[in-house]
């Protein structure tokens, strides 16, 4: 492993300054929304975009917690499972049935990927692990393009197209649906980790594999479950994204970038942080694009601005907003 | 160590001979291919210095290649600068950029550093679109003169030689020792007087400078045409793959890494069954994964393993003199 | 063209014909690369993978047409056309080695139909230096039309984007003189050129443009830009974007409760399949305008060209059947380009030469292309290297577009 880190002391990431900052931001947004329709609309749009970033970021965080690797292929796995759902609908399976079937398939795929590709290299070389995920990125992209082609395809909208209006602000059922599902995912994950034996075993396997094995936790299986769950989250993210960007092999690539930023922003070990990071990023980018002076707010700089924001926050809090402080002992 | 040194010099000699021989006998088209391999060699060498010798993960070298490449294109286009003269210029500019990137990177560790550099890889190619008046935007910008494949082959491999010798000189001296000590334990290095900020940013600078020169040559081999699509994320990933296949912490696997990344995509498209433009990625991705599963420490690791096996075989052989 | 010019043109023509005759006579057994007694090898670079890959139906359609010609007519002058389709993922650093492969390894007669502006710009120096035809480029930028003196071996085919933007500008200036225009355009040359054309077409009425918003290809939504236009009181929306963002823009406009009295969509993205997708996602397509220069396989099924195309698709490219039936313009586009190449090849001499091909392409004058919109004349000359300079405005009605008005000329 590069560098010898023994995390013996951990403190909770949700420190007071961070929470206070977030509360202040929420108040600011509320005031803005009440005073300007455009502000409110941009915020709502930002929230729904951010929910997508957050849901993919959740998958990234889950894998990072389990195996300490950044899965570069997360977006492509999400995309591939979305195509599987698409194929199911082509075979006349109804949308929601296809959704649940896809989730099951995604879980199995995640477990298999872990067992076949990740486990062999996990302890040998960090860089090899990174490269394996990069190889997966390329392989999956190639497979999907080969099987389905790279032209745009379209699926039925999961939540319908109805649009609601509150005051001067419009939001669609789709936007609401995405937001709800992201929040639901975080809650379910939290419940899993805090209140179930499985969750406890998974946390133990990730944090102290040797000790966990000694008390009977099947460490490898727990890590595999972690990957399976992450694949499920990715599938959900992909299916939620499809109505916005439609089906194309490259559909998740731009989103993956923003999701990386969101995951790191929130702290790579915090599921809630990932979603909050995503939402914050989405809202920030929209408002920035709307109100910043023409020159810096221009669209070419959207991605660089996202990463500039990330870098600034990391400079002050190198482990992200909700990241735990890691004390390294020699 | 004379045996080891002799083997290495022979190996280098063989490679040099092959390069020169191929240069004379290859078709023009293959010379272009050969130049591309050389370009990857230089970039991978640079990345290896950073990751393999100081332990700092960077996935953003495509960004430095873009900076170097655009330097060459712009200088040649606007000022008709001699193409070879743009190379040291690109080297200097990307060195400075690398140092500038290295400074905030002092704060980041491991995966955060990887993501920060990844952010670079994604953002820098967007910048020419922003300043399209000077950079040609999405229509790209081209050099004043376009060199032929023979010129490219010769210049690229001359740069490869310079880069290899330069890297070897840097890495065997005090700087190299400082780098290695940082990789093995930053705290130990700092406590023995190695200045972390200086050496870590120096490593970033040198590494970026190599990538910058590779980028200049990359643009030249693309008919002197620099355009954002050439420097996408896949380029950074390819260099990373090359460095991993080469094996980190050693210079001698670099040629294999460069050949791997330079030739495999091309060969993949003629693979049976799925060979085609579509199947190319499938084959390439699958092979990358396989190589990493089988050789997690790259070719250098393989060489090392063979080396130690040979040594232990000799040691345990009672009949050896 | 004055008397002197005409004289020069005639003399040049005579000189060219003489040269060709002499070359043909003296080089009886010496043919250009890619030409054998029974075949002609051509190739092209296309983005079959990567971000711009929704155009892959174009080379597929072109190949189908060449197969049809090979089958029914034995090729051109007894030579069958072999079309090698290569993938460059829209990355110039891949296009260059592929171009070198086509020229020096595969020794093609010509590079036909390659797609993309940046890939084209990266390689036109190379093709022209080696005197290899780089023809019928699939992109609406105007470089190929303008620079034929410096790059005589390169031609385009389709009407260019600025010209199309000009049409919209003229239409708005004439029919909607009090419009408040909001323009959404992609932040690269593609979008910017369209936008520039719009301004030219508006002429004195440029100030009708109330809000111009660009977007980046990596963004997943254009809500912010649409909202900005709505907030500034725009009532006319012009979208110069790729299909994905076009659909998103149309849907977003409807979602935020904004129904512009007219929406203009660049014809790259007004393909029927994209409009149907927008409809399916909830967009209101009333008063959506665009242009076309090709026959529609969905709404003009009785035209002879469409019938011919249908039979070709059925026999030689069944994979394209559903695209064709749904009115995917890329299929007819591919046929139109392929027809033009075959036509030029037929006029390039009994044993075709590269110079002959270029001459044929530089002196086109025909309305016989069955796949382009009826009445469109493919015309080029020594002073004009834009083969197609006419388009017709179309307006969405229910489930498909319908032509309005007459063919507009003077696009360029």
pLDDT of amino acid C20: 54
Does a structural domain hold residue A36? no
Q: How far apart are CA A173 and CA C247, in angstroms?
A: 18
Lowest-pLDDT range, B175-184, C169-178, C306-315? B175-184
8 Å CB contact of C96 and B137: no
Q: What is the mean pLDDT of residues B29-37?
A: 91
The residue to which tokens 């995390």 are assigned: A7
Q: How far apart are CA C176 and CA C8, in angstroms?
A: 45
Does a structural domain hold residue A165? no
What are B's interface residues with C at a Cβ cutoff of 8 A? 27-29, 32-33, 36, 126, 129, 132, 137-140, 142, 146, 149, 218, 221-225, 227, 229-230, 232, 266, 277-278, 280-281
Among B27, B36, B129, the residue with its CB nearest the CB of C188 is B129
8 Å CB contact of C121 and B140: yes
Name the β-bridge partners of A154.
none
pLDDT of amino acid A8: 37
Q: What is the mean pLDDT of residues A191-217?
A: 85
- H or E segment to which residue C321 belongs: helix C321-325
pLDDT of amino acid A7: 42
Q: How far apart are CA A105 and CA C152, in angstroms?
A: 56
Residue of A nearest to C57 (CA): A151
Q: How far apart are CA C221 and CA C239, in angstroms?
A: 14
Question: Could you give the percent of chain B with pLDDT greater than 70?
Answer: 93
| pLDDT confidence band for B272 (50 / 70 / 90) | low
| pLDDT confidence band for A191 (50 / 70 / 90) | confident
Q: What is the mean pLDDT of residues C401-410?
A: 88
Does a structural domain hold residue A156? no
Q: How far apart are CA B200 and CA C180, in angstroms?
A: 56
HSE value, Cβ hemisphere, 13 Å, CA-based, for B156? 33
Q: What is the mean pLDDT of residues B156-174?
A: 92
Strands (E), chain A: 7-10, 163-166, 169-172, 326-328
| pLDDT confidence band for C28 (50 / 70 / 90) | very low
More confident of the two residues B187 and C378: C378
**Considering its fold, how many domains does chain A have in total?**
1
What residues contact residue C355 under an 8 Å CB cut-off, 6+ apart?
A: C19, C20, C23
Residue A54: closest CA among A266, A218, A198: A266
pLDDT of amino acid C395: 95
* Mean pLDDT rounded to a whole number for chain A: 83
| Total Cβ atoms within 10 A of residue A23 | 10
pLDDT of amino acid C33: 93
B293 to chain A: which residues are within 8 Å by CB? Answer: 117, 120-121, 132
* Domain that residue A135 falls in: 43-145+174-323
Q: For chain C, which chains pass the contact test of at least 3 CB pairs under 8 Å?
A: A, B
C54 to chain A: which residues are within 8 Å by CB? Answer: 150-152, 248
pLDDT of amino acid B273: 53
pLDDT of amino acid C45: 94
* Mean pLDDT rounded to a whole number for chain C: 88
pLDDT of amino acid A175: 83
Lowest-pLDDT range, A241-250, C216-225, C397-406? C216-225
CA distance C263 to chain A (A): 20
pLDDT of amino acid B68: 96
Q: How far apart are CA C378 and CA C364, in angstroms?
A: 6
**Domain C31-159+301-389 is found in CATH 3.30.70.20:** no
A126-148 vs B279-294: helix crossing angle, rounded to 10: 160
Q: What is the mean pLDDT of residues C126-144?
A: 91
Of A158-162, B61-65, B293-297, highest mean pLDDT: B61-65
Q: How far apart are CA A69 and CA A122, in angstroms?
A: 9
Tens digits of residue pLDDT in C253-278? 988 888 899 999 999 889 898 898 88
Lowest-pLDDT range, A39-43, A174-178, B106-110? B106-110
Tens digits of residue pLDDT in A209-252? 888 888 888 888 888 999 999 999 999 999 988 888 888 888 88
Domain containing residue A221: CATH number? 1.10.3470
Two structure tokens written together for C279: 């409809």
pLDDT of amino acid A12: 46
CA distance B105 to chain C (A): 26
8 Å CB contact of A128 and B244: yes
Tens digits of residue pLDDT in A7-18? 433 344 567 777
Q: What is the mean pLDDT of residues C379-392?
A: 90
C50 to chain A: which residues are within 8 Å by CB? Answer: 150, 250
pLDDT of amino acid C5: 59
Asked if A245 is an interface residue toward chain C (Cβ–Cβ < 8 A), one would say yes
pLDDT of amino acid A1: 37
Buried b (16+ CB within 10 A) or exposed e, C82-94: bbbbbbbbbbbbb
B221 to chain C: which residues are within 8 Å by CB? Answer: 93, 96
B126 to chain C: which residues are within 8 Å by CB? Answer: 216, 218
**Domain C161-292 is classified in which CATH homologous superfamily?**
Response regulator (3.40.50.2300)
Q: Which of B285, B290, B299 should one mutate to test binding to chain A, selecting the residue with the greatest count of A CBs within 10 A?
A: B285
Tens digits of residue pLDDT in A240-292? 888 888 888 888 888 888 898 888 888 888 888 888 899 999 898 888 877 87
pLDDT at A208 > cutoff 60:
yes
pLDDT at A171 > cutoff 90:
no
8 Å CB contact of C214 and A163: no
* Mean pLDDT rounded to a whole number for chain B: 86
pLDDT of amino acid A20: 86
In three-state secondary structure terms, C392 is strand
More confident of the two residues A153 and A300: A153
| pLDDT confidence band for C26 (50 / 70 / 90) | very low
pLDDT of amino acid A35: 83
Q: What is the mean pLDDT of residues C366-380?
A: 94
pLDDT of amino acid A10: 37
Among C87, C190, C218, the residue with its CB nearest the CB of B138 is C190
pLDDT at C218 > cutoff 90:
no
C91 to chain B: which residues are within 8 Å by CB? Answer: 229-230, 232
Q: For chain A, which chains pass the contact test of at least 3 CB pairs under 8 Å?
A: B, C
In three-state secondary structure terms, C148 is coil
Question: Could you give the percent of chain A with pLDDT greater than 90?
Answer: 19
pTM of the model: 0.86
Query: What are φ and ψ of residue A30, in 5° steps?
Result: -60, -50
Q: Which of A165, A289, A296 should one mutate to test binding to chain C, selecting the residue with the greatest count of C CBs within 10 A?
A: A289
pLDDT of amino acid B118: 83
DSSP states of B162-192? HHHHHHHHHHHSHHHHHHHHHHH-HHHHHHT
pLDDT of amino acid A11: 40
Residues in chain C: 412
pLDDT of amino acid A4: 37
Q: What is the mean pLDDT of residues C154-165?
A: 92
Residues in chain A: 330
Tens digits of residue pLDDT in C344-365? 999 998 999 999 999 999 999 9
pLDDT at A2 > cutoff 50:
no
Reading phi first (left if > 0) and then psi (alpha if -120 to 50, else beta), residue C203 is in left
8 Å CB contact of C92 and B140: yes
pLDDT of amino acid C7: 62
Name the β-bridge partners of C146.
none
Tens digits of residue pLDDT in B202-226? 999 999 999 999 999 999 999 999 9
pLDDT of amino acid B74: 94
Residue of C nearest to A162 (CA): C282
pLDDT at C113 > cutoff 90:
yes
Does a structural domain hold residue A95? yes
pLDDT at A295 > cutoff 90:
no
pLDDT at B192 > cutoff 50:
yes
pLDDT at A82 > cutoff 90:
yes
Q: How far apart are CA A139 and CA A281, in angstroms?
A: 30
CB contact at 8 A, A274 and A64: no
Q: What is the mean pLDDT of residues C54-59?
A: 84
8 Å CB contact of C282 and A248: no
Reading phi first (left if > 0) and then psi (alpha if -120 to 50, else beta), residue B146 is in beta
Asked if C2 is an interface residue toward chain A (Cβ–Cβ < 8 A), one would say no
- H or E segment to which residue C42 belongs: strand C39-46
């Amino acid at each position: 492993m590069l560098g010898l880190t023994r995390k013996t002391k951990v403190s909770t990431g949700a420190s007071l300054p961070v929470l206070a900052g977030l509360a202040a931001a929420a108040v600011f947004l509320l005031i803005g929304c009440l005073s300007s329709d455009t502000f409110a609309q941009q915020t709502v749009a930002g929230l729904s975009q951010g929910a997508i970033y957050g849901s993919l970021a959740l998958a990234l965080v889950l894998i990072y917690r389990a195996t300490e690797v950044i899965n570069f292929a997360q977006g492509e796995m999400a995309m591939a499972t979305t195509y599987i759902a698409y194929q199911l609908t082509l075979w006349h399976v109804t949308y929601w049935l296809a959704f649940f079937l896809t989730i099951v398939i995604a879980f199995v795929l995640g477990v298999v990927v872990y067992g076949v590709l990740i486990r062999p290299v996990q302890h040998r070389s960090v860089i090899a692990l990174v490269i394996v995920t990069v190889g997966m990125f390329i392989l999956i992209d190639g497979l999907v393009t080969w099987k389905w082609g790279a032209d745009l395809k379209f699926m039925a909208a999961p939540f319908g197209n109805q649009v609601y209006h509150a005051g001067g602000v419009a939001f669609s059922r789709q936007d609401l649906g995405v937001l709800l599902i992201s929040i639901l995912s975080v809650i379910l994950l939290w419940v899993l980790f805090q209140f179930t034996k499985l969750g406890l075993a998974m946390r133990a396997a990730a944090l102290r594999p040797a000790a966990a094995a000694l008390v009977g936790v099947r460490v490898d299986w727990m890590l595999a479950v972690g990957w399976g769950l992450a694949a499920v989250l990715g599938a959900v993210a992909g299916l939620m994204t499809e109505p916005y960007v439609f089906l194309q092999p490259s559909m998740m690539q731009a989103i993956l970038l923003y999701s990386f930023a969101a995951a790191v922003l929130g702290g790579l070990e915090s599921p809630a942080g990932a979603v909050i990071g995503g939402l914050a990023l989405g809202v920030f980018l929209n408002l920035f694009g709307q109100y910043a002076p023409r020159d810096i707010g221009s669209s070419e700089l959207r991605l660089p601005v996202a990463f500039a924001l990330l870098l600034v926050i990391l400079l002050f809090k190198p482990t992200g907003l909700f990241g735990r402080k890691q004390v390294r002992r020699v | 160590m004379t045996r080891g040194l002799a083997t290495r010099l022979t190996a280098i000699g063989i490679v040099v001979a092959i390069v020169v021989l191929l240069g004379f006998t290859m078709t023009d088209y293959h010379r272009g291919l050969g130049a591309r391999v050389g370009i990857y060699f230089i970039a991978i060498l640079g990345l290896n210095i950073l990751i393999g010798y100081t332990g700092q993960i960077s996935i953003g070298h495509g960004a430095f290649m873009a900076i170097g490449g655009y330097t060459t294109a712009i200088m040649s286009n606007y000022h008709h600068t001699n193409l070879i003269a743009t190379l040291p210029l690109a080297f200097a500019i990307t060195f400075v950029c690398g140092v500038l990137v290295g400074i905030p990177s002092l704060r980041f560790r491991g995966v955060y550093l990887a993501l920060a550099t990844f952010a670079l890889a994604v953002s820098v190619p967007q910048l020419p679109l922003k300043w399209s008046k000077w950079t040609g935007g999405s229509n790209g910008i081209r050099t004043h003169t376009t060199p032929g494949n023979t010129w490219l082959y010769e210049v690229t491999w001359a740069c490869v030689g310079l880069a290899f010798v330069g890297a070897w000189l840097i890495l065997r001296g005090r700087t190299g020792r400082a780098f290695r000590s940082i990789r093995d334990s930053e705290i130990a290095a700092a406590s023995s007087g190695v200045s972390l900020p200086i050496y870590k940013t120096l490593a970033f600078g040198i590494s970026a400078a190599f990538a910058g020169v590779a980028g200049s040559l990359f643009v030249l081999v693309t008919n002197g045409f620099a355009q954002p699509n050439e420097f996408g994320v896949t380029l950074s990933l390819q260099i990373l793959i090359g460095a991993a296949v080469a094996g980190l912490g050693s210079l001698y696997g670099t040629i294999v890494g460069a050949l791997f990344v330079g030739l495999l995509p091309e060969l993949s498209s003629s693979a049976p069954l799925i060979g085609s433009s579509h199947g190319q990625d499938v084959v390439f991705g699958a092979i990358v994964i396989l190589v990493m599963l089988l050789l997690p420490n790259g070719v250098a690791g393989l060489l090392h393993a063979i080396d130690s096996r040979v040594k232990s075989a000799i040691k345990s052989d009672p009949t050896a003199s | 063209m004055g008397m002197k010019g005409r004289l020069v043109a005639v003399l040049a023509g005579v000189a060219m014909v003489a040269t060709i005759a002499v070359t043909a006579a003296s080089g009886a057994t010496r043919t250009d690369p890619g030409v054998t007694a029974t075949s002609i090898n051509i190739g092209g670079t296309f983005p079959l993978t990567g971000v711009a890959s929704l155009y892959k139906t174009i080379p597929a359609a072109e190949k189908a047409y060449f197969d049809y010609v090979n089958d029914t007519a034995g090729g051109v002058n007894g030579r069958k056309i072999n079309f090698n389709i290569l993938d460059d993922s829209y990355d110039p650093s891949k296009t260059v080695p592929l171009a070198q492969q086509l020229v020096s390894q595969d020794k093609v007669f010509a590079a036909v139909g390659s797609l993309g502006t940046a890939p084209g710009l990266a390689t036109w120096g190379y093709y022209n230096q080696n005197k290899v035809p780089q023809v019928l480029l699939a992109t609406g930028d105007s470089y190929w039309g303008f620079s034929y003196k410096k790059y005589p071996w390169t031609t385009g085919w389709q009407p260019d984007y600025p010209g199309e933007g000009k049409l919209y500008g003229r239409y708005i200036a004439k029919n909607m003189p009090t419009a408040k225009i909001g323009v959404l355009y992609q932040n690269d040359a593609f979008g910017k050129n369209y936008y520039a054309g719009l301004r030219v077409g508006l002429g004195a009425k440029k100030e009708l443009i109330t809000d111009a918003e660009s977007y980046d290809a990596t963004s997943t939504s254009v809500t912010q830009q649409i909202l900005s236009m709505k907030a500034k009181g725009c009532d006319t929306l012009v979208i110069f974007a790729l299909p994905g963002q076009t659909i998103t823009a149309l849907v977003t406009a409807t979602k935020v409760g904004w129904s512009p009295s007219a929406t203009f969509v660049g014809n790259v993205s007004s393909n029927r399949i994209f409009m149907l997708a927008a409809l399916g996602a909830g967009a209101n397509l009333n008063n959506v305008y665009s242009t076309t220069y090709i026959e529609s396989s969905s709404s003009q099924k009785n035209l002879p060209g469409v019938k011919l195309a249908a039979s070709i698709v059925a026999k030689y490219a069944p994979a394209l059947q559903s695209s064709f039936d749904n009115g995917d313009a890329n299929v007819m586009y591919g046929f139109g380009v392929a027809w033009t190449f075959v036509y030029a090849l037929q006029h390039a001499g009994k044993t075709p030469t590269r110079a002959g091909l270029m001459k044929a392409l530089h002196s086109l004058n025909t309305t016989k292309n069955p796949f382009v919109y009826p009445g469109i004349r493919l015309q080029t000359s020594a002073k004009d290297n834009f083969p197609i300079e006419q388009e017709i405005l179309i307006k969405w009605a229910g489930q498909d577009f319908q032509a309005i008005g007459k063919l507009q000329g003077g696009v360029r």
